[in-house]
C-alpha cells in the first residue's frame, strides 16, 4: 500500500478541555472520553493546535482545501445557514481541488460520513468535491432524532438523495463508518480516506435517551431553554463510544497499524463546553474560540505518548494527510497548510510560521507569531504573551507598543493577500446577551 488509510474525525463545537486527555473532568458516569484518551496515549496530541475559524463552515473550507478559507466566497459566511439552500455561490466550488479529490486521483477510495456544511446540491456537495459516497446532513445543525435542520426541513442524505432513517444521529454516523470499513476491507488493498464528521456535541442537547425532546425543540433547535453539563458530557461520550466501534473495526480487519486516525473539533466550545484555562468560545478569536484538541494515532509511524507544542491549524492537518499519502497538490491551487509529518515522527520537531485569522463578526482579527498574539475585537487592540498568559488577561499593548505595531502591520500585509470580506457576507448568531450572560 503506497500510503496509509486515513480517518479524519471532526467533532462539532467541542471545547479545548472537554476530553480527559486535555484535562477534562470526569462525569457522574465516569470517564467522558476513554477511547480518545487512549488514542492520545498511544499516539500524539498537540497542545497548541487551532481551528482555522471559530465557527463551523469556514473551518470546513480550510479542512477540505488545505488553504486559508478566506480565498473562497462561501467561507465569508459566518457560518453558511440553511437559508442558503439553492445558492450557486455559497458553497465549496466543485472545480476547486480538495483533499478528497487529490487522494482519489492518487488511488484512494473516499467517503464522507457525517456533516458537510459546505453548500447544497445541485451546485455543491460531497460527491462533487472528490467523495465517492456520502451519508449525513448537508446543513450546519440537525436534530439527533428527526434529522431536521433549523428551518424544519429534513436533512439526512445518502449521496444526493434525501432519505429517512430512524435512529440517534451520532450512532448512525458511527455505525455507517463501521459498515464502510467492513466493505473496503472486504474489497482488497485499495487505501481509503474516510472523513468522519460528527455533529456531536453541537446543539440540540439530546442524548440517546432524549428522543421525546425532539418534538419539544423542533421549532428552535438552538435549545436555549435546555441542556446542562451532564447531557453535554453524555453526548461527547456517545461520540467517543462510536469512535471505539470504528477502532474495533480496524483491529478486526488488521488495519489499525497502517491507518492514520486524526481527531479534532471544527472550532472552540459552546454553551456547556470546558475550555480551561482559555477564555472565549465559538465565534471568538480569543484562545477558547480557536484552540482545539488535535490527536493523531498511527502505530506504524507515530510512537506512543507523544506531546507536541508546535502551533498548527486545521489546514496543516489537511496538508499532512496529502503528504502522508504521497498525493501531490494541484500547482494551480498552492497550499497554505504546512505538513506536520515531521512532528508526527518526532514530537520535538518544530518550525516557525505565523498563523492568521479574521472575522466579520465584531471586526475580529488575530495573528499568532511564536509566543506573541495580536488580537483586535470591536476596534480594540490587544497584545498577549501566550507562554505566560494563555488566558489572555494581561494586555501588554501599552507596555510593548512597538511589538504591537509590528504584529498589526504583519497582519495587514497578510490581509492584503486575501480577498476582502464581501459586503453581503452574513453573520448568524443563535443567541446573545438577552438569552444568557456572556462569557
Residues taking part in catalysis: 56, 117
| DSSP structure string for 29-97 | TB-S-HHHHHHHHTSEEESSEE-SSSSHHHHHHHHHHSS-GGGSGGGGSBS--GGGTT-SSSS--TTS-
**Three cell numbers at 78?**
459566518
**Three cell numbers at 283?**
465565534
**Three cell numbers at 392?**
489572555
User: Is residue 14 a contact partner of residue 265, using CB atoms and an 8 Å limit?
Assistant: yes
Calculate the CA 132 to chain-centre distance: 21
Classify burial at 438, counting beta carbons within 10 Å of its beta carbon; exposed 0-12, middle 13-18, buried 19 or more.
Answer: exposed
- Among candidates 140, 156, 100, which has minimal Cα distance to 321? 100
Q: Which residues contact 174 (CB under 8 A, 6 or more apart)?
A: 239, 241, 242, 243, 245, 246
Phi-psi region of 315 (alpha: psi -120 to 50; beta: other; left: phi over 0): alpha
User: Is residue 69 a contact partner of residue 92, using CB atoms and an 8 Å limit?
Assistant: no
- Among candidates 4, 5, 10, which has minimal Cα distance to 195? 10
Strand partners, 355: 368
Phi, psi of 100 (to 5 degrees): -65, -45
> What DSSP state is assigned to residue 419?
P
Strand partners, 369: 372
Establish how many alpha carbons lie within 13 A of residue 349's alpha carbon, considering only the half-sphere containing its beta carbon: 11
Q: What angle do CA 228, 230, 235 make, to 5 degrees?
A: 95
Distance CA 214, CA 326 (A): 45
Amino acid at each position: 500500500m503506497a500510503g496509509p488509510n486515513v480517518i479524519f474525525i471532526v467533532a462539532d463545537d467541542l471545547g479545548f478541555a472537554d476530553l480527559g486527555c486535555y484535562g477534562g473532568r470526569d462525569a457522574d458516569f465516569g470517564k467522558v472520553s476513554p477511547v480518545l484518551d487512549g488514542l492520545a496515549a498511544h499516539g500524539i496530541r498537540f497542545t497548541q493546535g487551532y481551528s482555522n475559524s471559530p465557527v463551523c463552515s469556514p473551518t470546513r473550507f480550510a479542512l477540505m482545501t488545505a488553504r486559508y478559507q478566506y480565498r473562497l466566497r462561501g467561507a465569508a459566511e459566518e457560518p453558511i445557514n440553511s437559508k442558503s439552500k439553492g445558492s450557486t455561490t455559497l458553497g465549496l466550488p466543485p472545480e476547486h481541488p480538495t483533499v478528497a479529490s487529490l487522494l482519489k486521483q492518487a488511488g484512494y477510495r473516499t467517503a464522507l460520513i457525517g456533516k458537510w456544511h459546505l453548500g447544497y446540491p445541485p451546485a455543491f456537495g460531497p460527491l462533487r468535491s472528490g467523495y465517492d459516497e456520502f451519508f449525513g446532513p448537508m446543513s450546519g445543525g440537525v436534530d439527533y432524532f428527526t434529522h431536521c435542520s433549523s428551518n424544519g426541513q429534513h436533512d439526512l442524505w445518502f449521496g444526493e438523495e434525501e432519505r429517512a432513517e430512524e435512529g440517534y444521529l451520532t450512532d448512525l454516523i458511527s455505525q455507517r463508518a463501521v459498515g464502510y470499513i467492513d466493505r473496503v476491507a472486504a474489497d482488497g488493498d485499495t487505501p481509503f480516506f474516510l472523513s468522519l464528521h460528527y455533529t456531536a456535541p453541537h446543539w440540540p442537547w439530546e442524548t440517546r435517551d432524549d428522543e421525546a425532546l425532539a418534538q419539544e425543540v423542533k421549532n428552535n433547535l438552538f435549545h436555549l431553554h435546555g441542556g446542562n453539563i451532564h447531557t453535554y458530557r453524555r453526548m461527547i461520550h456517545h461520540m467517543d463510544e462510536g469512535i471505539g466501534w470504528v477502532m474495533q473495526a480496524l483491529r478486526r480487519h488488521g488495519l489499525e497499524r497502517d491507518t492514520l486516525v486524526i481527531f479534532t473539533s471544527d472550532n472552540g466550545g459552546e454553551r456547556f463546553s470546558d475550555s480551561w484555562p482559555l477564555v472565549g468560545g465559538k465565534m471568538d478569536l480569543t484562545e477558547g474560540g480557536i484552540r482545539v484538541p488535535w490527536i493523531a494515532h498511527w502505530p506504524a509511524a507515530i510512537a506512543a505518548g507523544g506531546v507536541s507544542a508546535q502551533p498548527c491549524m486545521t489546514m496543516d492537518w489537511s496538508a499532512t494527510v496529502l503528504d502522508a499519502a504521497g498525493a501531490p497538490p494541484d500547482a494551480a491551487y498552492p497550499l497554505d497548510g504546512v505538513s506536520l509529518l515531521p512532528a508526527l515522527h518526532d514530537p520535538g520537531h518544530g518550525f516557525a510560521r505565523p498563523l492568521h485569522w479574521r472575522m466579520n463578526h465584531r471586526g475580529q482579527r488575530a495573528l499568532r507569531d511564536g509566543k506573541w498574539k495580536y488580537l483586535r475585537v470591536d476596534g480594540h487592540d490587544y497584545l498577549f504573551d501566550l507562554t505566560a498568559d494563555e488566558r489572555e488577561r494581561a494586555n501588554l499593548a501599552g507596555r510593548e507598543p512597538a511589538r504591537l505595531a509590528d504584529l498589526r502591520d504583519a497582519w495587514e500585509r497578510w490581509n492584503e493577500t486575501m480577498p476582502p470580506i464581501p459586503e453581503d457576507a452574513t453573520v448568524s448568531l443563535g443567541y446573545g446577551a438577552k438569552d444568557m450572560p456572556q462569557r
